[in-house]
Amino acid sequence: MAKISLGLGLYILLSLLCFHSVLIESAVSSIDLGSESLKVAVVNLKPGEIPISIAINEMSKRKSPALVAFHSGNRLIGEEAAGLVARYPDKVFSSFRDLICKPYEFAKNALAEMYLPFNIIDDPERNVVAINVNDRGDAVYSIEELVAMLLSFASRLAGFHVKNEVKDVVISVPPYFGQAERKGLMQAAELAGINVLALVNEHSGAALQYGIDKDFSNESRNVVFYDMGSGSTYAALVQFSAYKTKEFGKTVSVNQFQVKDVKWDPKLGGQDMELRLVEYFADEFNKQVGNGIDVRKSPKSMAKLKKQVKRTKEILSANTMASISVESIYDDRDFKSSVTREKFEELCKDLWERALIPLKEVLEHSDLQADDLYAVELIGGATRVPKLQAKLQEFLGRKDLDRHLDADEAIVLGASLHAANLSDGIKLNRKLGMIDGSMYGYVFKLNGSDLSKDETTRQLLVPRLKKLPSKMFRSIAHNKDFEVSLAYETENLLPPGVLSQTFAHYVVSGLTDASAKYSARNLSSPVKASIHFSLSRTGILSLDRADAVIEISEWVEIPKKNLTVENSTFASPDVSAEASSKNASEESDDSVLATGEGLGNSSELANDQNITDIFTVKKLKKRTFRVPLKITEKMLLPGKSVSSESLAKAKSKLEILDKKDTERRRTEELKNNLEGYIYATREKLDSDEFEKISSSQERQSFFEKLEQVQDWLYTDGEDASAAEFQQRLDSLKSIGDPIFFRYSELTARPEALQLARRYFDQLKQIVQDWETKKSWLPRERINEVLTYAEKVNTWLVEKEAEQKRTPVFSKPAFTSEELYRKVFDLQDKVASVNRIPKPKPKVEKAVKNETEGNDDNTDGSNSSSRDSIGSEGDKTTNDSKVSTEESSNAEQSDLHDEL
């Protein structure tokens, strides 16, 4: 019920919010990439469409498995790959979000815990895990490439949903994603050919979805978003409030939220609960079979067991007991068992307490009590487990938890709102300000010769939860090249799998040369280096630029003129001017202004002044030079970004796969079309209606052709190309289309005849009305219509007679389309004549002779004197009467104006 009300409420809300855009066809999307599945939401501006909606996949499902499979020379993604998991667990790959930019040993242990038999290798250039997708070892893909395949798939879903290409996207990420993971995801998006507007933290997406339709002007709210997904858990404290601002001269209240704190456990999720059941049932099966058999050693057996366990866990969320049945789990043995909810909760006993830790830490760190929380919203699929909800209720002292958001779709829908706000083509009239911060604190350290101890000490650059995006600036007094290292603030808070705090290293060069160049001049202060950092919307910290700042003081000669005025009792002020040009990179704190206050214009000065002396003065002038420095980034292992050369090769590789996938999908579509055509046609030919328009010999021949193609389809046609399927489909249609056309004409032709006869009758009345009511219509145009109508009628009579002589299984003498075309042409001619406008009547102006004109003038003068005696009201009334009578008698030239 909550989900239904959410969807309806969102539709009504966004309809009232009135999206507006310069580009009507604008569309943006959001992608929620999880450990096991992905969701796609689209913001669409087409009239009649829901403004924000979930893009469904080919199976009409609202979320797709985050899987990529390589089997029989084909690449399969999403639902297609999911069908192979139980049979080919070593060829269906998953958990990419948890593997991106992870070192080999970390990934190896994580995959072993989940019984995923992937053939992984260590990428020596980057010291991160990569996956070999075949047994030959010649098809190795980086995790970025595999993620790019998923993102490209998600982009296609969005494009198919709006029937247009969608390239601008916001991608949600878990809060614990570090620098390497975020950069890796951005590179994956680049490989997929999509433009990432931002990487939004999952809790911010949920907060946007929560707050977009609420009013916080009366009070602020502290809300905790508790998310347990398949692979991780976090608790985020968000404060919602409102502030006053001016819009169009009016004071309005604008909602906003600020993320106060986030705590997480990146290794706790629904998968851990499922693994407890997997281990339980694996032990039970081993006991049933005996003989030292361990089902865990069979990847295929474990894949089958895991698939059924997931279903069993879902059943236990609504029932106190659930059964499990796995066919041919091991050595053609079937496995059947059951488990109670009580037993399941006992198996996960330690997980329940562990699940509370992020929530406890958030409250303790924020110095809040459970009673200070307005709501605790549950998101993530694993929060549906009753025991977890009970533990949360017990800790919070609440009878009910808040579940106003869709546990699966809240994040992706909120991220789509963020995408709409960031897009140039789409804007929301309803505003919700978002203040999110960096999930990690960052420090920087300088290294170089002659640096002071203070400068080489690690310094805090970005405190944790610093607002995104942000820019930072640091200045150091130094005159030699140096190095800059960026690192996480503390080793107690590092992203999963990260072993070193330092994640980036830069070499800044050019400072030594710049210092030497200007050292011979008079330096007013020591040479400095200014360093500029930025923390982008993606949460990625980078060193953007560095400059050498050099300040020089020099004595400069400035020409001056002494001016005197002849025969004057006052002294004129001095006038000084400086003519100099500055380099664009120079800055000066000195300026000399020319002034002429108290003097006349220039011509007066030229006449009245005599130049008595010209001399120069020296003035101390300070100049500041800014010289750009060269920055070379040295990526550190593990997590080194993919090089430009590797990116280009990866793009080519993915383009080949995309083309192959397109051809495969086209082949499958044509194969299905051919198969469907055969079955549908055979069914139609067996009906009585087709006996009326085809001979028995024709039908028999067609039957044989259909059987022949069907036999080929299930033998040699199994591996045929798209062109072969199209060729055979065309050959069948060349026989079937004439038959089906004759069948359709059995009803279409009589309908067309009825329409034509009815219109011929209407035409008689139309022509009669022309002659009686529209006498101005040219007779030749009317005759032209009548002639064409007679021509059509004659053609129709002849064709009807010919059709009666034509066998029903032969080509028709005429078609309904031909008749419709002729009738429509006749209607166009009638409409053309009907549009001829009625001519306007000719109006002749009255001609007055000169005598009458003179008399009028005389009378006018006399009447003028008389009018001066009468009242003004009488004059006005009389004038009005004359004007009215003139208007009514405009067409009668023989009448005179009445005075």
Other CB atoms within 10 Å distance of the CB of residue 39: 24
pLDDT score, position 892: 41
pLDDT score, position 249: 83
Q: What is the DSSP letter of 269?
A: S
* Residue % of the chain over a pLDDT of 90: 64
pLDDT score, position 272: 96
603 confidence band (pLDDT: 50, 70, 90): very low
**605-612: average pLDDT:** 47
Residues 477 and 450 sit within 8 Å (Cβ to Cβ): no
**761-778: average pLDDT:** 91
765 confidence band (pLDDT: 50, 70, 90): very high
Higher-scoring residue by pLDDT: 651, 246: 651
pLDDT score, position 519: 82
Q: pLDDT per residue over 616-651, tens digit each?
A: 888 888 888 899 999 998 877 777 788 888 899 999
| pLDDT value at 846 more than 80 | no
pLDDT score, position 613: 61
pLDDT score, position 563: 53
171 confidence band (pLDDT: 50, 70, 90): very high
Specify the range with the lowest mean pLDDT, choosing from 64-78, 361-375, 453-467: 453-467
Other CB atoms within 10 Å distance of the CB of residue 868: 9
**827-853: average pLDDT:** 76
pLDDT score, position 122: 92
Q: What is the DSSP letter of 28?
A: E
Q: pLDDT per residue over 662-699, tens digit each?
A: 999 999 999 999 999 999 998 888 777 787 788 888 88
pLDDT score, position 594: 36
How many Å apart are CA 599 and CA 601, to the nearest integer? 7
**404-421: average pLDDT:** 94
- In terms of average pLDDT, the best of 422-436, 569-583, 588-602 is 422-436
What the block records as the tokens of 628 is 């750009």
State residue 503 phi and psi, 5-degree precision.
Answer: -125, -10
Tokens 């030919």 -> residue: 685
Tokens 């290409």 -> residue: 165
Q: pLDDT per residue over 45-101, tens digit each?
A: 777 778 889 999 999 999 999 999 999 889 999 999 999 999 999 999 999 999 999
Q: pLDDT per residue over 316-329, tens digit each?
A: 999 999 999 999 99
pLDDT score, position 120: 94
Q: pLDDT per residue over 28-53, tens digit each?
A: 999 999 999 999 999 987 777 788 89
**812-840: average pLDDT:** 92
pLDDT score, position 76: 95
Distance of CA 473 to the CA centre of its chain: 33
pLDDT score, position 382: 95
Strand ranges, E, within 498-657:
502-509, 528-535, 541-565, 575-576, 586-588, 609-628, 630-635
Whole-prediction pTM: 0.78
Give the 3-state secondary structure of residue 219: coil
3 confidence band (pLDDT: 50, 70, 90): very low
pLDDT score, position 191: 96
Other CB atoms within 10 Å distance of the CB of residue 232: 27
Residues 38 and 51 sit within 8 Å (Cβ to Cβ): no
State residue 889 phi and psi, 5-degree precision.
Answer: -110, 30
**128-157: average pLDDT:** 91
| pLDDT value at 587 more than 70 | no
Residues 385 and 401 sit within 8 Å (Cβ to Cβ): no
pLDDT score, position 606: 44
Higher-scoring residue by pLDDT: 865, 491: 491
Specify the range with the lowest mean pLDDT, choosing from 54-68, 353-367, 579-593, 742-756: 579-593
876 confidence band (pLDDT: 50, 70, 90): very low
Average pLDDT value for the chain:
85
- In terms of average pLDDT, the best of 221-235, 394-408, 450-464, 604-618 is 221-235
As a dihedral over the C-alpha atoms of residue 133, residue 139, residue 140, residue 142, rounded to 10 degrees, the angle is -90
| pLDDT value at 506 more than 90 | yes
With residue 329 as reference, give the H or E element that holds it.
Answer: strand 321-330
For residue 368, what are the contacts with CB-CB under 8 A and spacing of at least 6?
222, 237
351 confidence band (pLDDT: 50, 70, 90): very high
pLDDT score, position 897: 32
Other CB atoms within 10 Å distance of the CB of residue 121: 13
pLDDT score, position 417: 94
Q: What is the CA radius of gyration of the chain?
A: 43
845 confidence band (pLDDT: 50, 70, 90): low
Q: pLDDT per residue over 695-724, tens digit each?
A: 888 888 999 999 999 999 999 888 899 999
pLDDT score, position 733: 93
**260-285: average pLDDT:** 97
| pLDDT value at 593 more than 60 | no
For residue 709, what are the contacts with CB-CB under 8 A and spacing of at least 6?
674, 678, 728, 731, 732
25 confidence band (pLDDT: 50, 70, 90): low
How many Å apart are CA 310 and CA 271, to the nearest integer? 9
| pLDDT value at 599 more than 70 | no
First to last CA, the chain: 86
Other CB atoms within 10 Å distance of the CB of residue 382: 27
